[in-house]
Amino acid sequence: MNPLRSLILAAAGNDTVRGLVASAPVSRDVVRRFVAGESTEEAVEVTRSLVADDLHVTLDHLGEDTTNRTQAERTVRAYLELLDRLHATGLAGRAEVSVKLSAVGQSLGENLALTNASRICAAAEQCGTTVTLDMEDHTTTDSTLRVLAELRRSWPWVGAVLQAYLRRTLDDCRELAGSRVRLCKGAYAEPDGVAHTDPHEVDLNYVRCANVLLAGDGFPMFATHDPRLVDVIGERARWHDRKPGSFEYQMLYGIRPAEQRRLASEGNVVRVYVPYGEQWYGYLMRRLAERPANVAFFLRSLVSRS
């Protein structure tokens, strides 16, 4: 693993580093740029502005690795409040939610995570929107896919997330190609035995997986900021006779916003992943670790909106 990436991931779990990062003025600027805020209302206002630019949104209430039922319940209630506000403001047709099962009790038991995720899915259905289950480190992949399968018994529209750096993902794409699937590169520290560690191999596997998803009859969602992959996806979509609206691009809030608007102006569906909430530190560190060059990219983004 890249030494800088290892260092960043180690910092993600260090309370002292967290305190220093949180108190630095430049860090607060970064957080405001890449996180919608800490409250539901701030998240809704950011969603409103993105929708006004003809973009779609998926909202992630930050928080994971929940260690007790009280925390899990707090997360569920935050999502229920958010869904109510999206419905009340007329934004639910363009905005869905992304849920990490670890945030709703996965480490306390798969059944608890299923129960809590079901509550969120039921509320999303009532509000006229959808849910995507975020994927986390490889130790939770099988559990997350089992919960996904159970949720889809009642809500077949629940989205899956697959990570191109995992060696198993091409097979998982073949299994899930008839459904809503978000394909991303992956942002967790994984051993070589289960994940590609060479960035070139990750990119190659991403394209292989994209082809499988585009050849299926589901709805693929391609999460990447890589200009080369954006171009490849467009080319492969045309080759598979995929029309605009039969797949979507996804990008993180605050990253390449001009490109997001450009793709949308060409008739593509572009969904922006919008994190919000108090637990922003782990999210920010993973985005930096996802590609060490992101450190410089984030700093440049403070003075550039392109």
Positions marked catalytic: 134, 182
**Contact predicate 224/185, CB 8 Å:** yes
Among candidates 101, 206, 208, 202, which has minimal Cα distance to 160? Answer: 101
**Contact predicate 273/224, CB 8 Å:** no
Three-state DSSP state, 195 = strand
Three-state DSSP state, 306 = coil
Q: Which residue in the block uniquely carries the two structure tokens 């191999």?
A: 201
Three-state DSSP state, 280 = coil
Q: Which residue in the block uniquely carries the two structure tokens 């079901």?
A: 118
Helices (H), 266-304: 281-290, 294-301
Cα separation, 58 vs 234, in Å, equals: 21
| CA distances (Å), origin 77, targets 84, 106, 119 | 11, 16, 9
- The letter for the amino acid at 202 is V
Cα separation, 122 vs 137, in Å, equals: 26
